[in-house]
């Protein structure tokens, strides 16, 4: 055993001895916190699922049933046939995929440039990008509406995509900037010696290494855009342009809330997010933790 390892072991032994008595360490508190946190997260999801399969007569039964007595798919049928959910779903996919791809392009190029090159106003640029995240995006709702109406972009995919890009890009730029900072610049120098130009270094060296950062940025942008409600509600008024979030929000009126239909729609709306996150979770966590520790 090396001297350094022996010192570490000695410190560990001292840390569990207090006043000549060994202190037993049990992660009981941590376990309780994890259990309570898991319950707080899973119980609403469980209640959403069982509510979607309950008939309307069972929703308000006392005492409440924790498992449906009579399973029904009526809520899912209503979502598809009464609310034109497939159209909402298609609208969301077009807007979210378009905004996510374009946000990735802009934030990747901006983050790479800021991490690799020194230029006048670099600090001010990064500071401005960060400051924009300190204000709620809703304060820009009226300006966005007036601008889009001026250019006849209300009730259009392009209008929503532009808006989503504008408030997703700043944080995504910082995510990519932080990730590119973890890639050694020595790789750029070696590639330059081998004859690659600036674009070749970015495309063939840095971009493949930044795949985890790209994945985490894409997942963040996709989830935020998919769940966005306020801008989609304000900037779209026709039935054919409603997104999933707006469609779910309108499953109520002045006197009734259609809980089974709403919960069924929430389950269907969660499927793309679950699939997207399931296949990219490893890259997501790798990208989010990159740059958190200074080596």
Query: What pTM, to 2 d.p., does this model score?
Result: 0.79
> Are 169 and 84 in the same domain?
yes
Looking at mean pLDDT, say which of 1-5, 193-197, 291-295 comes out highest. 193-197
Q: Would you say residue 19 has pLDDT above 80?
A: no
Domain assignment of residue 205, yes or no: yes
Domain assignment of residue 35, yes or no: yes
Domain assignment of residue 173, yes or no: yes
Domain assignment of residue 256, yes or no: yes
> Are 214 and 92 in the same domain?
yes
CATH of the domain at 226: 1.10.3720.10
Is residue 134 very low, low, confident or very high in pLDDT (cuts 50, 70, 90)?
confident
> Are 47 and 168 in the same domain?
no
Q: How many independent structural domains does the chain possess?
A: 2
> Are 139 and 35 in the same domain?
no
Q: Which two tokens stand for residue 78?
A: 């209503």
Helices 259-289 and 85-116: crossing angle in degrees, nearest 10, is 20
> Are 42 and 187 in the same domain?
no
Q: Would you say residue 222 has pLDDT above 80?
A: yes
According to the model, what pLDDT value does residue 233 have? Answer: 92
Structural domain harbouring 190:
75-289
> Are 175 and 35 in the same domain?
no
Contact 267, 49 (CB under 8 A): yes
> Are 44 and 143 in the same domain?
no
Domain assignment of residue 67, yes or no: no
> Are 200 and 276 in the same domain?
yes
Is residue 16 very low, low, confident or very high in pLDDT (cuts 50, 70, 90)?
very low
> Are 154 and 242 in the same domain?
yes
Span 250-265, pLDDT tens digits: 887 777 788 888 899 9
> Are 237 and 274 in the same domain?
yes
Mean pLDDT over each residue of the chain, to the nearest integer: 83
Domain assignment of residue 295, yes or no: no
> Are 135 and 265 in the same domain?
yes
Distances (CA, A) of 28 to 32, 38, 43, 57, 66: 6, 15, 22, 42, 29
> Are 161 and 111 in the same domain?
yes
Contact 229, 40 (CB under 8 A): no
């Amino acid at each position: 055993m090396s001297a350094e390892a022996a010192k570490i072991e000695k410190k560990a032994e001292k840390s569990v001895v207090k006043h000549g008595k060994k202190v037993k360490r049990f992660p009981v508190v941590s376990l309780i916190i994890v259990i309570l946190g898991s319950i707080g997260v899973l119980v609403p999801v469980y209640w959403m699922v069982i509510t979607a399969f309950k008939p309307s007569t069972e929703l308000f039964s006392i005492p409440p049933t924790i498992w449906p007595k009579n399973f029904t798919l009526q809520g899912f049928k209503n979502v598809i046939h009464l609310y034109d959910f497939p159209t909402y779903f298609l609208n969301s996919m077009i807007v979210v995929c378009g905004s996510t791809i374009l946000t990735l392009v802009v934030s990747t190029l901006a983050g790479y440039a800021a991490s690799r090159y020194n230029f006048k106003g670099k600090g001010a640029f990064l500071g401005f990008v960060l400051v924009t995240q300190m204000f709620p995006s809703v304060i820009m709702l009226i300006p966005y509406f007036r601008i889009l109406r001026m250019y006849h972009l209300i009730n259009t995919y392009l209008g929503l995509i532009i808006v989503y890009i504008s408030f997703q890009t700043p944080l995504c730029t910082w995510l990519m900037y932080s990730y590119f900072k973890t890639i050694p610049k020595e790789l750029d120098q070696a590639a330059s010696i081998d004859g690659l130009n600036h674009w070749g270094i970015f495309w063939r060296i840095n971009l493949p290494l930044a795949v985890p950062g790209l994945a985490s940025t894409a997942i963040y942008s996709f989830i935020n855009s998919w769940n966005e409600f306020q801008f989609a509600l304000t900037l779209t008024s026709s039935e054919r342009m409603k997104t999933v979030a707006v469609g779910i929000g309108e499953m109520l009126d002045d006197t009734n809330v259609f809980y089974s239909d709403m919960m069924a729609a929430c389950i269907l709306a969660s499927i793309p997010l679950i699939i997207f996150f399931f296949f990219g979770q490893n890259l997501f966590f790798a990208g989010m933790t990159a740059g958190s520790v200074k080596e």
